[in-house]
Structure 1
Amino acid sequence: MFASLIPVTSLMVSTLLMMIGYGLMNYLLPVRAVAEDWSPFLISMTATGYTVGFTLSCIITPKLVLRVGHVRVFGALITLLTVSILISSLVVVWQAWIIFRAVSGFAVAGCYLVIESWLNERVTNETRGTAFALYMVVSLGGSIGGQYLVPLGDPLNTSLFIVCGMVFAIAILPTALSTAQSPAPIAQAQFGVGRLYRRSPAAFAGAILAGVLAGAWGSLGGVYTTESGFTTAQGATLLAFVLAGGALGQVPIGRISDRTDRRYVMIACGIIGMLASTFMFFLSAETLYLLYGTAFLVGSMLYPIYALNVAHANDRADPSEFVTISSSLMILYGLGTIAGPLVGGAAMEIGGPRGLMLYLALGFFGYGAFAAWRVWHGNPMVTPEERSDFQAVAVPMRGTDPAGSFAVDYEEEYEPNVYAETEDEPEKQA
């Protein structure tokens, strides 16, 4: 089994290094922004630059790969990441950081796409599950490890920024020097947002709200820990518990959702997430270990719900629509991540750092409430034979489907799906 994963070893090493840099960057920048006395809303503005760049990259990067190939695009994106973090230490102005963060978001999303499409093609059906589980562990471990580099330096000088840039720069070496063959180009995305809504309004709204929640926490979690008076080590640990919860929570949520109507699981995730976020609002550094446990529970609801939306939408789609629907969910999720930091930053302006937790609680409530409304007004659940498999998604914030694939355009016709959450006949795909 492990021998079959040798062809992707260099790719995993590059991923690990990139995620170490990502974890360091994603915690270092909010800490430095708070130290510069920027308001939560200004910090959320810079974070929105990241999510805008991230979303645009999901559309543009496949075109770049088609022109010059995976290795060259990956090298160019790593260069952009290196430049973005280094220049952020030289020009500490929030307006400029919006641009710098947009560049880094574009680069990170592009690297995800390249890595995942490469990995997906290099493994076999027998090793795919093991390979992506290893990829998830590498992503999670690298991101957490990078966060713990912040307490080792001073965010007010350039040392940590330089270290981050060095890690990013080194990340290109294993892939650039690998003798493994490059995969085929990523297919161009074809979006069908209207078709997605007709198939599954619950997944449509759920993807947006999942993006709102993940975008708000991913962008402002570091601000929450810093302004709440935690040390950088305590803040890194809290963020790590959220990520760990996101990774481990996908297992029980996936298994339960494969055995029942996924909308019931959506409702449960919304309720648990709302209660955990509300409870976390009342906790502080004085109840540190209880806070860590609650953060783990929040993360276990926060990140798996995107994959839950994908699985639910696929349950109610025809096989020819799977990748188109995944692409549409990706864009809706990206739009949610753009809105999430802005509204979350405003909530922190009004209610202080704990306002973020009330904002998350409200988002979880909306997620569960809409799913409950669809249970009441939608079609019956699909049969076990028609239900698709739940696919875990690597954390942190993602905008791609689990395999990193993009939609292609289909010409074939299909029969109407009786489980689509609409009474109208679906139109044929162009």
Structure 2
Amino acid sequence: MPRATLTALASPLLSLLVYSVGHGLLTTLLTLRMTAEDVSPTLIGMISTAYFAGLMLGSFINSKVILRVGHIRAYAAYASILCSLALLFGIFVAPESWLLLRLLGGFATGGLLVVIESWIIVSSPVAHRGRIMALYMVLFYAAMILGQMALKQLDIMALLPFVVAALACSLSVLPLVLSKVNVQHLERHEKLPLWSLMTLTPTAVFSCFISGLILSVAYGLLPFFYARIGLQIADIADMMAYLILGGMCLQYPLGRLSDRFDRRLVLVFLFSAILLVGLAFVLLHPNANSAQAAIMTLMLGGVIFAVYPISLSQACDELNPSQVVAANQGLLLCYSVGAMSGPLLAPLFIHHIGPYGIFVYFSCMSAVCLVFLIWRRLVRAPVPLQEHVAFSASLPNTPLLAELDPRADTPPQMEDDPALDYYDRR
């Protein structure tokens, strides 16, 4: 990758790294603090749902704010909001009020990520989009893991961990405000209505929806499970780090495997693995064996994080290159609906079964998707292997990340926006 490109990308990627450390810390911290305060799983799930609802809203509508005030000012505003919210979480430990705070936090996070990702898009040569996407993902996951490690050193019952999360939000502004860049906006791509997307690639749509159902619960309720089975804070942080590490390490190998076989068959494998790992947790009760729990959590992370990007690849195989960006954005919406629904459904399993109900939930959602995938393989022939597009790793963050997808036939053309350029120079 050219040095000029790396230089241009340094500011947004460094901001992403610093912010994501605090984000990873806060995500686990909130669940652990609510568990320590004996908050019901249902309310914990509602608070997780509020975050994903805010994230979806922020991801899809905050571009108007950015166009109005410029990237740097918008980022500073979102980071300031998130810094304040992190402190308010620690000052007002009232889970009912956390619903609103988490909704606002998701909205601001969506806007913040749109700023970073649009900045990266402007700085990305077409030939290096795949590598830039991979670098973005590695930094995001690595920072999330660092956030779990930082949590091990902090007392979750004190204000300090919330202050650390707030500091990360505040300090993440510095790389961007100290840089100078001419920010541009993107042309619109071909639109693809959601109903048309469901007709063209039902497997990708349903798999992304189930991915949201599972992944949101893994983020929001797994710390609750580990706390309920008696693990200490340091051990819980390690388990969440293993979950994210599994996703970071296995996503690309599993994706490359899907290039060589019918992707629907690979998705069958992934959901079968989720089902089996879920049943293994229920049957083996690995809380008595930390090494066993770590390996199973690593495996779980590896397969659940791979479902979304492989589902995107399945969609890209079945669509025209000009539809890739619109399809990615539609699939993100499907994922987001699932992510808002999962934390509301999983507590029903926990209420009737106990903490291990979360893994029964994983297994049941996977079984539903398996039935659908097997049916789809019976009624529609697979895409020929020679027509597969190369796998590209992806994160379900914002619709703008679709612009970096190297599978699009032609890149979006950039147009100078005098308003953005004026505000970002100030």
- Give the structure-1-normalised TM-score: 0.89
CA distance in 1 between partners of 2:187 and 2:78 (Å): 16
Greater shift after overlay, 190-199 or 47-56?
190-199
Identity of aligned residues (%): 28
Q: Distance in 2 between matches of 1:253 and 1:340?
A: 24
**Once the 2 structures are TM-superposed, how far is the Cα of residue 262 of structure 1 from its aligned partner?**
0.9
Aligned residue identity for 1:158: L
Q: Larger deviation: 322-331 or 129-138?
A: 129-138
Q: Is the 8 A contact 2:75 2:173 kept in 1?
A: yes
Secondary structure of the residue that 2:289 maps to in structure 1?
Answer: helix
The one-letter code of the counterpart of 1:236 is A
1:405 Cα deviation from its structure 2 partner: 6.2
| Residue matched to 2:355 | 353
The one-character-per-residue Cα deviations of 1:32-80 (angstroms, maximum 9, x if unpaired) are 1111110111111111110110111122112222222222222111112
Distance 1:28 1:187, change over 3 A: farther
1:383 and 2:392 correspond: no
Identify the structure with the greater helix proportion. 2
Q: CA RMSD in A?
A: 2.0
Query: Shift in Å at residue 368 of structure 1?
Result: 2.3
Q: Give 1:276's aligned residue.
A: 277
- Answer whether contact 1:53 1:106 (CA < 8 A) is retained: yes
Structure 2 equivalent of residue 246 of structure 1: 247
- Give the Cα–Cα distance (whole angstroms) in 1 for the partners of residues 113 and 171 of structure 2: 17
Contact 2:22 2:147 in 1 (8 A): yes
The farther-off stretch of 180-189 and 23-32 is: 180-189
Report the CA distance between 1:109 and its aligned residue.
Answer: 2.2
Partner of 2:142: 141
Instruction: List structure 1 segments (4+ residues) > 6 angstroms apart after TM superposition.
Output: none
The answer for the alignment partner of 1:231 in structure 2 is 232
Q: Paired residues, what number?
A: 403
1:185 CA displacement: 5.2
Matching residue of 1:415: none
Which residue number corresponds to residue 309 of structure 2?
A: 307
Q: Tell me the residue number matched to 1:255.
A: 256
Moved more, 272-281 or 108-117: 108-117
1:219/1:341 contact within 8 Å kept:
yes
| Structure 2: tracts of 5 or more residues without a match | 406-426
For residues 238-271 of structure 1, the C-alpha deviation after alignment (integer angstroms, 9 at most, x for no partner) is 1111111111221222112112211111111111
2: CA distance, partners of 1:250 / 1:230: 28
Residue 26 of structure 1 aligns with an amino acid whose one-letter code is: T
Aligned positions of 1:146-225 closer than 5 A = 146-184=147-185, 187=188, 190=191, 192-225=193-226
> Whole-Å Cα distance in 1 between the matches of residues 81 and 256 of structure 2?
39
SS of residue paired to 2:152? helix
1:336 to 330, 335, 338: 338
- Cα shift at 1:400: 4.1
Higher relative contact order, chain-length normalized (CA < 8 Å, sep 6+): 2
Asked if the contact 1:11/1:115 (under 8 Å) is kept, the reply is yes
- Does the 8 A contact of 1:14 with 1:172 survive in 2? yes
SS in 1 for 2:45: helix
State the secondary structure of the residue aligned to 1:110: helix
Letter of the structure 2 residue corresponding to residue 330 of structure 1 = L
Alignment-mate amino acid for residue 336 of structure 2: G
Q: Which residue of 1 aligns with 2:50?
A: 49
Aligned residue type for 1:119: I
Shift of 1:29: 0.6
Given that 1:70 and 1:114 are in contact with CA atoms closer than 8 Å, whether structure 2 keeps it comes out as yes
CA change 1:142–1:330 in 2 (3 A) is same
